[in-house]
């Protein structure tokens, strides 16, 4: 019986289509070969243009630049996340004035280029110098350091010795390009994150709120225990995209003289006129972005495991 069945299956199976070489397959192979040649060309260029002296001189500053980029992005994302909560709240509020103001904020920061916002802060803040200098804080500041050398391969150890009270004004804050960038980026990402948060919270059906209310949970408990856990699953992917966009967008701080990864790259290029300085930066950025993208996909698969069957 079983022999007959396998025979029948063998007979009834349609013959495999001939693979052949249709036009789109030729085109596809040609394009892949082109990409392969392009990438191999870049690798060959990097190998041929290899200059150990140059690498030893600039590789540490690339790492410093990468650190500046990551620091800038992480501070901005965290500050933006904190700032986005009241904005999202105002945007969802029934008060017309409040929601209008929040909408205007979001519209302005999403409708203008990040570069223009950064310029507005960095160059524009000079117009308010007297006002900014009037706002002062008295803070304890370390006034002298004892530098202890730890040998050739370790950074020197700095021990704080004296502390004085310094008068720090807002102007001292905004004079640093890095602080201006953090200020502009935080305001910008707060607008985007507020929209992500609002969209995610509103994607949770109303019945969830009503069900929680009928169980006697108050609003804050409902938000914290019922709505946010569901909303954050929806928000994960947009949040990840926002982080990636910030990492890519942070390259513009090189224009306002912050030496992040892009800034170091421009500096290296202007000193050496060696095009590989840009290629190394491109490789580093691509690796960061791809790692993040796959990491977020992995997290999403993990936290939605209960939704799959």
Partner 1 sequence: MQSVWTLLSWGPEGWLDDIGYGVFITVLLAAATLPVGLIIGFMVSLAKQSNEPSLRLAGNIYTTIFRGLPELLTLFMIFFGAQIGIQRVMRLYDPAATVEVNAFVSGMIALGVVFSSYASEVFLSAFRAIPKGQYEGGYSIGLSSGQTMRLVVLPQLIRIALPGLANLWLILLKDTALVSAVGLTDILRQAGVAARVTKHAFLFFSVAGLIYLLLAIVSSFGIHAIERAVGRQEVQR
For partner 1, give the closer residue by CB, 190 or 262: 262
CB of 249 to partner 1, least distance (A): 7
First-to-final CA distance of the chain: 36
CB of 174 to partner 1, least distance (A): 12
Q: Which residues in this chain contact partner 1 in the complex, by CB under 8 A?
A: 24-25, 27-29, 31-32, 34-35, 107-108, 111-117, 119-120, 123-128, 247-252, 254-255, 262, 265-266, 269, 275, 278-279, 281-282, 285-286, 289-290, 293
For partner 1, give the closer residue by CB, 91 or 266: 266
For partner 1, give the closer residue by CB, 126 or 205: 126
For partner 1, give the closer residue by CB, 209 or 274: 274
For partner 1, give the closer residue by CB, 82 or 287: 287
Supply 101's token pair.
């103001």
Please list the residues that pair with 157 across neighbouring strands: 148
Q: Look at residues 182, 196, 180 and name the one whose alpha carbon lies nearest to residue 106.
A: 196
Q: Are 153 and 212 in contact (CB under 8 A)?
A: no
Q: Return all residues near 190 (Cβ < 8 A) that are at least 6 apart.
A: 79, 80, 81, 83, 84, 87, 109
CB of 306 to partner 1, least distance (A): 26
CB of 43 to partner 1, least distance (A): 14
How would you class 140 by CB atoms within 10 Å of its CB: exposed for 0-12, middle for 13-18, buried for 19 or more?
exposed
CB of 128 to partner 1, least distance (A): 7
Burial code of 20-43, b = ≥16 C-beta within 10 A, e = fewer? eeeeeeeeeeeeeeeeeeeeeeee
């Amino acid at each position: 019986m079983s022999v007959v069945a396998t025979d029948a299956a063998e007979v009834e199976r349609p013959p495999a289509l001939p693979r052949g070489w249709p036009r789109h397959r030729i085109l596809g192979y040609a394009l892949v070969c082109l990409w392969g040649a392009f990438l191999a060309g870049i690798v060959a260029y990097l190998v041929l243009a290899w200059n150990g002296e140059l690498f030893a001189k600039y590789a540490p500053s690339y790492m410093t630049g990468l650190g500046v980029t990551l620091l800038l992005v992480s501070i901005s994302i965290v500050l933006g996340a904190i700032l986005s909560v009241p904005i999202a709240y105002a945007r969802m509020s029934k008060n017309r004035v409040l929601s209008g103001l929040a909408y205007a904020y979001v519209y302005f920061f999403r409708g203008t280029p990040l570069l223009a916002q950064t310029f507005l802060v960095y160059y524009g803040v000079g117009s308010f110098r007297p006002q900014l200098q009037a706002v002062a804080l008295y803070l304890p500041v370390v006034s002298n350091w004892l530098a202890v050398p730890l040998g050739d391969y370790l950074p020197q150890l700095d021990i704080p010795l004296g502390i004085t009270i310094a008068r720090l004004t807002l102007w001292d804050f905004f004079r640093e390009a890095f602080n201006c960038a953090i200020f502009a980026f935080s305001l910008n990402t707060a607008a985007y994150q507020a929209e992500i948060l609002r969209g995610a919270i509103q994607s949770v059906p109303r019945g969830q709120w009503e069900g929680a209310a009928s169980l006697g949970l108050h609003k804050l408990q409902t938000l914290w225990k019922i709505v946010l856990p569901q909303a954050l699953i929806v928000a994960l992917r947009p949040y990840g995209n926002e982080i990636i966009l910030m990492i890519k967008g942070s390259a513009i701080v090189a224009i306002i003289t912050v030496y992040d990864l892009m800034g170091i790259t421009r500096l290296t290029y202007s000193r050496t006129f060696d095009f590989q300085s840009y290629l190394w930066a491109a490789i580093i950025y691509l690796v960061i972005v791809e790692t993040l993208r796959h990491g977020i996909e992995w997290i999403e698969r993990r936290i939605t495991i209960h939704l799959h069957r």
